[in-house]
Structure 1
Amino acid sequence: MSEEILMNITPMESRVALVENGVLQEIYIERARSRGIVGNIYKGKVVRVLPGMQAAFVDIGLERAAFIHASEIAPRNSDRTDEQVERPIGELVHEGQSLVVQVTKDPLGTKGARLTTHISIPARYLVLMPQNNHVGISLRIEDADERERLRQLVEKCIEQENCQDKGGFILRTAAEGIGEKEVMADIQFLHRLWDTTLETIKASRAPAVIYEDLPLSLRTLRDLVDPDIEKIRIDSKATFTKVHKFVKKLVPQVDGRVEYYPGERPIFDLFGVEDEINKALSRKVQLKSGGYLIIDQTEAMTTIDVNTGAFVGHRNLEETIFKTNLEASVAIARQLRLRNLGGIIIIDFIDMDHQEHQRQVQRSFEKSLEKDHAKTNITGVSELGLVEMTRKRTRESLENVLCETCSTCDGKGSLKTAETVCYEVFREILRAVRAYDSKSYTVLASEKVVDRLLDEESSNVADLEEFIEKTIRFQVEPMYSQEQFDVILV
């Protein structure tokens, strides 16, 4: 399988596309204005100690001083303990002291950033904790045997690297099922990164940025690159230079696969990525056979409906349904990754009579999900043909990143018909007649509603005028949506 990573970089926005066999599978978007500072490490200076609050303010070079509580301050090279939490803030820090801190919460409103001295640096499968030496495992990895296997694997790799005194590790949820090669690569990467960070700390004067959580272009190398990736193409010369330096120093196994793309045609246009992004914002996904999917994303869950559409098959109905479901199983797995759909997902496959067909569709779906970077959990095909599954939310969905709620329909996805609005207008006029005395009434509404009132509903308007013994006039209001109208007393 041929895999490539494409990077489209501009000053405002960075976009990364994962392409398999020429087909877009995943898209990552990061905008400069919305980048936070959580995870960044600073060399700060304590500017004020507050004994009454057991806290201190630290200047890390931002507009407002950041805030750190005593429970988040630990002596060097020591694990966090209850005794440290109880120690007075005055014994832990003093004004003018330099302090290496990490941001745990972005500044919000008038409040400064929140800090900790318990540093942690993530890689793809492991998180390095330089100040202690224990191995922890994410609670989301529930299988006891797998937890023990991973613990022994990390301890074995630490022993092989002879780095017992270089910090401890936490295994992330994504580590479930990985082998020695992946663990060793992460340990080596994190130690090289921490050595570089220590050099920067020694050479810097407070306040200074020591380590910034990697931008999207570099996080891609950390989280997505594996032996299957053949090429990494970047359309920005400046970003290519940064990536090349990063690769040579910290991810040497990728060296030689990074290329600068200087073409005049936009890189996403060249590989059809732009069109695929636009298609991924549509409810309907067309299948090659003529069938289609309908994907509805709501706050509670995402539902996916499979339909045969124009596909009539060549043998019989059951064979047609089976082939449509098989094709849909592959397409759905891709759409989950591409749209980054998370949480509860309900898939309504077309009902299949044969259990063997159900098993094959489920196997096809599970196999298609093997390359998904997010953790998934799938149930079997129910008697109704429904598959219930969950997919871990790793970031906002593509729709939430690129779109906002429609101001016309307010997120409903539908509008009242012009006919419905006309009848609401009639009812509103009758209410006005009962409540107020007026010589005539003017109705302000959208062009489509006014056109209907003057055409199909003209006889009803005449009857209403006769009934209320008043004149009714109509005026088009271009800025009104189809559901908006006003009745004005004249």
Structure 2
Amino acid sequence: MNQEIVINVSEYETRVAILEDGKLMELMVERPENQKIVGDIYKGVVKSIFPGMQAAFVDVGLEKNCFLHVSDMGDFSESARQMFDLDEGGEEEEPRKRRKGGFPRIEQLLTKEQEILVEVTREAIGTKGPRVTTQVTLPGRYVVLMPGQRHVGTSKKIDDWQEKKRLKKILRELRDGEYGLIARTVGAGRNAKEFKGDIKNLLKEWERIQKLARHKKGPFLLHKDVDLVGSMIRDLLTPEVEGIVVDNKDQYKRIMGYLKEVAPQMRSKVRLYQERIPLFDAMGIESEIEKMFSRKIWLKKGGYIVIDQTEALVTIDVNTGRFVGKQSQEDTIFQTNVEAAREVARQVRLRDIGGLIIVDFIDMAYRENERRLYEEFKNAFKRDRAKNAFAQVSEFGLMEMTREKVGPSLIHSLSEPCPTCDGSGRVLSKETTALKIERWFKRAKAVSDERDYRLVINPVLSELMLSKEENRLRDLNKQLRLNIELVTDRNIQPYEYKVLSVAENREITERFKA
């Protein structure tokens, strides 16, 4: 599998695309107004306790209080065992005594206004605030540090049991305090010296956090996890990554500096993109992103899938469409289902869909084909970084799966409720539309000598483009050396725009769309 990381940086947005064999599989977007908080560590204050829910709400200084369930306060192995292979070894500390059938009651563990250390494990979604845990972890390049634990383990994505055994031996020998260690996937093949350096840095950071926690009153941010680019390089840069392409000089220098310290042999894989055509356009990524907003996705052989997302679950319908096949009807249906299974996996990863997902495959006559389809579907998610679980095809031809949800889906992050249908549908957010306009003019500048344009947008969008804090239109004109005249029109939707050529005196919006 040929993997490539492509990074596009602008003043108002950073985008990271992951390509596998040249195909867009994942897209992460970070903007100043919605920076990720998963991995951040806070000194929080317990504001309310609900015995009926066995949960508490913790104020960490964010807009909404954070949700803390009693299961996120128990022995680390309860949550970690799903992701890591942990030693049982008899060397762990005595597990906390539990009431019959579960965890201690939360009202026995917490009191109102109590200050506690928590780490964010899930972003705020809709009306729900972030989710937190008291089981703090610090990820490094090769290892995860678990303060207060004594477990030693490895990532479940490391398949070789002999390598697992070797890594656990190294970590047991290096551990010399009240903390646990997990070897990350990228740690496979690394030696004790490399792990030792990583652990030393993490222990130093943990010492800093503890010192800050002793002197600061909650709510207070104790540790900010690295940003999107930093986390991608730390977590995803493995030997199988063929290359990293970035279009920003500062980020390029930052990546090269980081690799100089942790993986100097990989610096040759990093390339600074400086061509006129925007990076995501040159690599065919922008057009794939545009398709992501469509409900209907066509398959290469003529079939198609339809994706519908609700608050409770996501449904995906599979249809044969124009595909008639050359053999039996059963074979045609099976081929369509297999192709759809692979595309469903891609779309789920690309859109970062989490929670319950139900796929309505086309009914097949033979159980053996259903079994084969199930295996194909599971295999298609093999490279997915999110935790997932699958159920066999039901008698109604439905396949259910769950996928870890750590934040709102990408579609929801880039859109907002439709004002026309009162929220039953979604449209591009004003921020997303403004960035699409910016990319339109960058495309035009790369291939055209024309300088004078007329941009027609809704007055609501013009407020964003012309705000006193950041006059985007002025900045765009200055950056690209263009003369863009802004015209407002209430008849155009806030998520739409038109571009007119002054020289040709006609609309040319479609000319430079992705």
TM-score in same-fold range (> 0.5): yes
| Kept after mapping to 2: 8 A contact 1:124/1:186 | no
Alignment of 1:286 with 2:303, yes or no, is no
In the alignment, structure 1 residue 230 sits paired with structure 2 residue 238: no
Task: Kindly provide the amino acid, as one letter, of the partner of residue 268 in structure 1.
Answer: F
| Deviation by residue 1:237-273 (Cα, 9 ceiling, x = unmatched) | 0011111111221344533222211122111111111
1:157 equivalent in structure 2: 170
Distance 1:183 1:315, change over 3 A: farther
How big is each residue's C-alpha offset from its partner over 1:158-204, in whole Å with a ceiling of 9 and x where there is no partner? Answer: 14xx42226622659x97xx995489799457425326748989xx9
Structure 2 unaligned segments of length 5 or more: list them.
44-60, 63-72, 74-92, 98-107, 109-114, 125-131, 427-489, 494-514
2:317–2:361 contact (8 Å) kept in structure 1: yes
TM-superposed deviation, 1:318: 1.8
CA gap of 1:312–1:189, structure 2 versus 1, over 3 A, is farther
Q: Are the aligned partners of 2:247 and 2:272 in contact in 1 as well (CA < 8 Å)?
A: yes
Structure 1 partner of 2:259: 247
2:3 corresponds in structure 1 to 3
Residue in 1 that maps onto 2:370: 358
**Contact residue 197 and residue 210 of structure 1 kept, 8 A:** no
CA contact (8 A) 1:376 1:391 kept: yes
Q: Secondary structure of the equivalent of 2:268?
A: coil
Alignment partner of 1:122 out of 122, 139, 143: 139
- Cα deviations across residues 2-61 of structure 1 (Å, max 9, x unaligned)? 21000011232111000011110000111122226675579x9xxxxxxxxxxxxxxxxx
Tell me the SS of whatever aligns to 1:306: strand
Contact 1:102–1:116 (Cα < 8 Å) also in 2: yes
Change in CA separation of 1:240 and 1:351 when aligned onto 2, cut-off 3 Å: same
Which residue is equivalent to 1:216?
228
**Aligned letter for 2:139?**
P
2:410 matched residue in structure 1:
398
Report 1:380-391 matches (<5 A): 380-391=392-403
Q: Distance in 2 between matches of 1:406 and 1:34?
A: 20
8 Å Cα contact 2:145-2:182 kept in structure 1:
no
Describe the SS at the equivalent of 2:395.
coil
Q: Is the CA contact (8 Å cut-off) linking 1:37 and 1:103 kept in structure 2?
A: no
Q: What percent of counterpart residues are identical?
A: 37
- Contact 1:343 1:391 (C-alpha < 8 Å) held by counterparts: yes
Q: How does 1:45-84 map to 2 (within 5 A)?
A: none
Residue among 317, 326, 339 paired with 2:338: 326
In 1, Cα distance between the equivalents of 2:257 and 2:388? 35
2-side partners of 1:154 and 1:246: how far apart? 24
Describe the SS at the equivalent of 2:335.
helix
> 5 Å matches for 1:432-443?
none
Per-residue deviation, 1:387? 0.6
Cα distance in 2 between the residues matched to 1:346 and 1:41: 34
**Equivalent of residue 269 in structure 1, options 281, 297, 313:** 281
- Pairing 1:168–2:179 present: yes
- Is the contact made by 1:8 and 1:268 (CA closer than 8 Å) also made in structure 2? yes
Q: 1:298 to 1:239 in 2, by over 3 A?
A: same
Q: TM-score, length-normalised on structure 2? A: 0.58
Q: Please give the alpha-carbon distance, in whole angstroms, between the structure 2 residues aligned to 1:279 and 1:230.
A: 26
CA distance in 2, matches of 1:298, 1:150: 43
Q: Distance in 2 between matches of 1:272 and 1:28?
A: 16
3-state SS in 2 of match to 1:352: coil
| 1:289-300 paired onto structure 2 within 5 Å | 289-300=301-312
Which is greater in Rg?
1
Match 1:342 to one of 351, 354, 375: 354
- Contact kept in structure 1, 2:244 and 2:269, CA below 8 Å: yes
Query: RMSD of aligned C-alpha atoms?
Result: 5.0
Partners of 1:123 and 1:222 within 8 A in 2 = yes
Letter in 2 for 1:279: K
Q: Which amino acid aligns with 2:144?
A: V
User: Residues of 2 paired with 1:322 and 1:150: CA distance?
Assistant: 38
Q: Measure, in 1, the Cα distance between the counterparts of 2:163 and 2:178.
A: 17
The amino acid that maps onto 1:156 is K
Normalised TM-score (structure 1): 0.60
Unmatched runs of 5 consecutive residues or more in structure 1: 45-61, 64-71, 73-77, 87-92, 94-100, 109-114, 415-476, 481-490
Q: Deviations over 1:382-438 (max 9, x none)?
A: 222111111111332111111111111123349xxxxxxxxxxxxxxxxxxxxxxxx
Write out per-residue CA displacement over residues 290-341 of structure 1, whole angstroms, 9 at most, x where no aligned residue.
1100011111111110001111122332222111111111111111111111
Superimposed CA distance per residue, residues 125-151 of structure 1 (whole angstroms, 9 cap, x where no aligned partner) = 853145x4611779x99xxxx9x9999
In structure 2, the residue corresponding to 1:404 is in which secondary structure? strand
Aligned partner of residue 345 in structure 1, secondary structure: strand
CA distance in 2, matches of 1:373, 1:125: 16
Asked if the contact 2:143–2:187 (Cα under 8 Å) also holds between the matched residues in 1, the reply is no
CA distance in 2, matches of 1:254, 1:363: 35
**Offset, 1:123:** 4.2
Whether 2:207 is the aligned partner of 1:194: answer no
2: CA distance between counterparts of 1:380 and 1:125? Answer: 35
CA distance in 1, matches of 2:194, 2:412: 31
